[in-house]
Amino acid sequence: MASKCLSSLNQSERQKLEKELFNIQKGKCFICEEPIDWELHGDALDVDHIEPLSQGGKDNVDNFALTHSHCNRSKQAADLRIARILARFEKIKNEVEMKEQKSPSLKHILKINNGSQHDFKISIEDDIVKYSFPNSGDNKIYQSNLLVDNLSYFKSFYAEIPLSYLFHDDKINPRGIAQESLRKLLEEFHRKRPQLHIALARLLTKKDSNNGSDSTELNKIFIFDGQHKAAAQIFLGVKKLPVRIFIDPDLDILLTTNTNAGDQLRQVAFDKSIKRQLGHSLFVDRISRYQQDHNLSEDDESFSERQLIDHFRGEAREIKRYILDFVRNSITQHRENMLREFIDFEGKGKKKPISYSTIDKTFYSLFLHQEPLTTPLNYKADIGENPRTLEIEQMVKLMNIIAEEIYHGKYNQDLGVNRIENKLREGEDIPEEHLTAVRMSKEEIMYN
């Protein structure tokens, strides 16, 4: 919506307004928060409404901001305050992807906002959970009702927890934060609409070899569900989060429940790559449980995939899937896999050419051995001829050939894949190697 206020200004008045905004913003772009240089950026600056007129913003000086023209025209939200948050997230995303080759999660957002620092201890008396936050200077003793689920018998309670006492659970939820999902939640919460489903977390108060956790997780609150909602609220300045906390849950059951919620029950929108990571974790867990049930040491892998399935008879189909998930995820996350940097694991991006679904339906459906092996898990591992290890290494080699032939030095991530064919029809000059890479990434082409 056009600004009558801005259009009424002459050149001198416009320059005066820009100088005022420059001083208010301490010489930085409102969106990207990088410096504005009058010599370098003088002809490439915009003045825009912070809160859009279409959303009730005022058409006056108090609602104006100075931005780099590129930042304003490529902003991902109409409200400049949301656009600024998304620009901050973009910086975090680029840094994490460069260092860790994966999308940022709640762990990274908490770390930047002084989260994940302190242990959390409780006492339970007469179905009342008592707790305090002494490390943050709050010595008040809070109380919550202890709840017991009538079917699973899991114990839990609800509480509002400071960020410094919260951790991200990448064991149950290895999923990264999708920018589009974050944007929608930021806009929703920014408009003062309430959070309908609060975050879920787990708390280990005692070491139990049967619950799948380790001693480093003692007395820590790990959020395993609702990380997008939590991240959005943190970006909007919230210092405490409402959480439902499960006390000493069986990690295997919680992991299976969360996996089923996103896989079989469709209660959570898990991407395929996330399902593979969860399946990987469940396979490792079943190995550990098999070793415990047979009094084997943690490094004893003298049993086969088939024996694992026979032992867990009630979930034979699931174990078969976990085995393949383990292999798929080991290939995808392999440190030498050069194709990985061109795979869009979230399924909604516009920069990376290959969807994870394409990888799943081509490489993995065509070349992986689908049946459980009868040889021990450690068969010929000492001489580098373990069947599954060879399968993983050979698949990585195949992916690297594709990466070198089609993508490396040829695919331009700045151009991306968004509207590439339309741009070509409109006469835009698209490098042939980039166009080839985009077209070769289509599922039906890669399959052939």
* Residue 357 pLDDT level (bands cut at 50, 70, 90): confident
Q: How far apart are CA 383 and CA 402, in angstroms?
A: 28
**Confidence check: pLDDT of 232 > 60:** yes
266 pLDDT higher than 50 = no
Q: How far apart are CA 250 and CA 208, in angstroms?
A: 9
Strand order through the sheet with 122-125? 122-125, 128-133, 138-145
Average pLDDT score, the chain = 88
- Gap between the Cα atoms of 167 and 417, Å rounded: 35
The predicted structure's pLDDT at residue 261: 65
Q: What is the pTM of this model?
A: 0.69
- Between the two ends of the chain, the Cα-to-Cα distance in Å is 49
- Whole-angstrom Cα distance, residue 40 to residue 423? 29
Weakest-pLDDT range from 206-210, 251-255, 286-290, 336-340: 206-210
Confidence of residue 209 (pLDDT cuts 50, 70, 90): low
Domain spans, the chain: 4-75, 103-270, 277-448
Element (H, E) at 46: strand 45-49
pLDDT digits (tens, 9 = 90+) for 15-54: 899 899 999 999 999 999 999 988 888 788 889 999 888 8
Tell me whether residue 209 is exposed, middle or buried, using C-beta atoms within 10 angstroms of its C-beta: 0 to 12, 13 to 18, 19 or more.
Answer: exposed
Tokens of 100: 């860790």
Q: Please report which confidence band the pLDDT of residue 268 belongs to, taking 50, 70 and 90 as the band edges.
A: very low
CATH of 103-270, one of 3.90.1530.10, 3.40.640.10, 1.10.260.40, 3.40.50.2300: 3.90.1530.10
Domain 4-75, CATH number (from 2.70.50.60, 3.40.50.920, 3.40.50.2300, 3.40.1800.10):
3.40.1800.10
- 372 Ramachandran zone, left/alpha/beta (phi>0; psi -120 to 50): beta
